[in-house]
Amino acid sequence: MKLVGTIASRLLVWILVIVFGLTTIFFVPRFAPNDPVEAMLAKVASGGSYMTPSEVDALRASLTDAFGLHGSLLSQYWRFIRRVALTGDFGPSLAMYPTPVSSLISHALPWTFGLLMTSTLLAWLLGNLVGMLAGWRPDRTLSRVLEGVAIVIYPIPYYILALVLSILFSYVWHIFPLTTSVQGTPWTWAFVESVVWNSTLPAASIVVVVFGWWVISSKAQTTVLAEEEFVRYARLKGLSDSRILWRYILPNALLPQITFLALQIGLMFNGAIIMEILFGYPGLGQLIYTAILQGDYNLLMGTISLSVIAVATATLIVDLLYPLFDPRIRHG
Amino acid sequence: MRSRLLANAPLRLWLGLGLLVLIVAVGMLLPWLAPGDPLHWYGVPRNLPASPAHLLGTTNLGQDIFWLLTWALQNSLMLGVVTGFFSTLIGVFAGLSAGYLGGAIDRVLSFFMDAFVCVPSLPVLILLAALFGGQLSLPVIGATLIVFNWPYPARQVRAVALSMRERQFVAVAWFSGESRVRILVRHIFPYIAGWSMANFINTVLVAIAAETSLAVIGLSSAQRATLGTMIYWALKYQALLAKRYLWVGAPVTAVVVLFVGLFLLSSGIAMRSAARRSGA
């Protein structure tokens, strides 16, 4: 029964966080010093398209509607929340009229999720494994070198590493493509190969940086655990090193790392947005960028609201997975 | 365990300090020596390679890369320090109040701390930038970053303050008639001073990273040079295709040195205060 309570309260937090995030997004345009509708109109006008006064008026009316700027603040707010959270309807894209924003987003999401999930999992597994081995034998030269490398890599932002990797592997040595261009129809072998080929550099930048962080934290965990009494007891009992490592230390070292993972998702998402833009990778980040360049307000609100929901949900899922790994919560 | 921490910490601290002294010297002292405004276009011949007259060469827009870099570093550092200072100040205050006073204040503050941590700040900054007509000025970026970054120190300080409240010496101080404010300032704050310092430095890092990422995609101020805008202009003018790697390489190297230095320093301080606390 304790488990049900834990899940219920976690779900409540999830809803509260999403509502809080959406509220922030709702109020941000209202803090802007200039009228957002006029700013968008200026953006469209500077894009080079000439409009007659009546067209401008029509666009102004549709933007006012898109911003939800008619009615009282409370009714605006309620309409916004209902539209975003309950129906997921963000209206048509202004730049790619009349494609609905939701269909643009649903095309982009698998790319972002695929990239982030693969690289996060890879980095998490590799980093924890290497960190654990380094923490188990902290005095070996290799362990020290590994930690040193991890410390130098971890603080570097993904996109900086992405730039360095792309300079090296796309400009100096022409191994990987400069920008993403996927060939083939979905789910043929050529398509899969092309996706993997195009995703290698963006994924590698995430994997390398995040790997650094997991090595550092997992090594610290393992070093502490190795001195715990139950480990000493296991050693006195004559258990082999590998058994102690895999059965005694690994499960305990991984638990806090799952919590850390939940905390890192938001930061990783931020990094992925910039990297998609740099590599021209067709995910959510690229969509946000297109929205800004073209002054597509519906698309911008849609992608940004969805970012908040996606990050909150990913964090929720990681948190909900936690009881699977921790018997104390499962049976407590 | 403790001895290793103490043995490790000074090395990190010194390395971090060394890198930062270098960066601060380049970013805070050298800009005063710059011959004119390095942001000015066509002030010097275009596309020169590195030479004694132009240490890192010149850009496609006729700017001296070396002097541009010093100005960029200065702006980035200022943004980071101001943001870090106010985030830490608000964070420590909120964390202390929540942890020490408890009750309804704690619940309200804790909710905001948890909620802000879960909202990804970059999309919100991008939304703001779009509403400001595609570019944000540095003060607006700084203010937004403060809003999103105070919860990190606040959460940590709250945890420390919670555990402190139960310590005996706090009870002794309370029973000997010291006021709450005095207890907070005299007895609890010294324990969190080290953490706050580490947090401050970490926030400096986060703030500079956030501005840089906005700038790299062209959403930061175009009137001010920062590390990110330097990278943006270099990419926009195809410095990579033209194989003019110094233009991109200089700000990228500066970012790496700065971030590694800041991280070493903040983790060094955090380790030392952890060792101190467990020893106390």
For A3-13, the pLDDT digits (tens) are: 788 788 888 88
Across the interface, whether the CB atoms of A157 and B111 are under 8 A apart is answered: no
B22/A contact by beta carbon, under 8 A? no
Distance CA B74, CA A267 (A): 25
User: What residues contact B159, with CB distance under 8 A and at least 6 apart?
Assistant: B99
Residue ranges, chain A, pLDDT below 70: 1, 31-36, 39-40, 43-50, 65-71, 97, 178, 180-186, 329-332
pLDDT, tens only, B227-279: 888 888 888 887 777 777 888 888 888 888 998 998 888 888 877 777 665 54
Q: Determine contact, residues A22/A81, Cβ cutoff 8 Å.
A: yes
Q: How far is A54 from chain B (nearest CA, A)?
A: 23
Residue B267 to residue A289, Cβ atoms within 8 A: no
CB contact under 8 A, B131 and A29: yes
Contacts of A128 (CB under 8 A, 6+ apart): A214, A218, A253, A254, A257
Hey, are the CB atoms on A274 and B134 less than 8 Å from each other?
no
Q: Could you tell me if B132 and A34 are in contact, meaning their C-beta atoms sit under 8 angstroms apart?
A: yes
CB-CB neighbors (< 8 A) of B252 in chain A: 160, 163-164
Per-window interface: B 143-202 vs A, CB < 8 A: none
Contact (CB<8Å) B123/A164 = no
Q: Do A156 and B213 touch (CB under 8 A)?
A: no
Among the listed residues B201, B161, B144, B151, the one whose alpha carbon sits nearest the alpha carbon of residue B23 = B201
Instruction: Note whether B219 contacts A224, CB cutoff 8 Å.
Output: no
Separation between Cα atoms, residue A170 and residue B202, nearest integer Å: 33
Looking at the complex, does the CB of residue B263 fall below 8 Å from at least one CB of chain A? yes
Identity of the residue in B115, B133, B252 whose CB atom sits nearest the CB atom of A160: B252
- Can you tell me the distance from the alpha carbon of A119 to that of A269, in angstroms, rounded to the nearest whole number? 12
User: For the residues of B128-196, what is the DSSP string, one character each?
Assistant: HHHHTTS-B-HHHHHHHHHHHHTHHHHHHHHHHHHHHHTSHHHHHHHHTT--HHHIIIIIIHHHHHHHH
Q: How distant, in Å, are the alpha carbons of A51, A179, B63, B218 from that of A48?
A: 10, 26, 30, 20
- Which amino acid does the sequence have at B109? L
DSSP letter at B43? S
Distance from CA of A53 to the nearest CA of B (A): 21
- Of B224, B236, B118, B123, which Cα lies nearest the Cα of A289? B123
Q: Of A13, A270, A292, which has the smallest distance from its Cβ to B120's Cβ?
A: A270
Q: Which candidate from B126, B132, B243 shows the least CB-CB separation from A304?
A: B126
Residue B250: list chain A partners with CB under 8 A.
none
- A316, amino acid identity: L
Q: Counting Cβ atoms within 10 Å, is residue B222 exposed (0-12), middle (13-18) or buried (19+)?
A: middle
Of A220, A247, A224, the residue nearest A128 (C-alpha): A220
Query: What is the Cβ-side half-sphere exposure of residue B149, based on CA atoms within 13 angstroms?
Result: 31
At residue A190, what is the residue type?
A
Give the pLDDT confidence of B10-50 residue by residue, as tens digits: 788 888 888 989 888 888 888 787 777 777 777 777 777 77
User: What is the ipTM, given to two decimal places?
Assistant: 0.76
Nearest to B256 among A33, A156, A267 (CB): A156
Convert the pLDDT of each residue in B98-151 to its tens digit. Answer: 887 878 888 888 888 878 877 778 888 888 887 776 778 888 889 989 998 998
Q: B35 in the Ramachandran plot: left (φ > 0), alpha (ψ -120 to 50) or beta?
A: beta
Distance from CA of A173 to the nearest CA of B (A): 12
Of B129, B210, B240, the CB nearest to A167: B240
Cα B277 to Cα B263: distance, rounded to the nearest angstrom: 21
Structure tokens at B66: 């070396």
Task: Check residue B89 and give its pLDDT.
Answer: 93
Cis-peptide into A98, omega within 30 deg? yes
Residue pointed to by tokens 């010297």: B25
Contacts of A90 (CB under 8 A, 6+ apart): A83, A84, A100, A101, A102, A105, A298, A299, A301, A302, A305
Q: How many other CB atoms are found less than 10 A from the CB of residue A8? A: 10
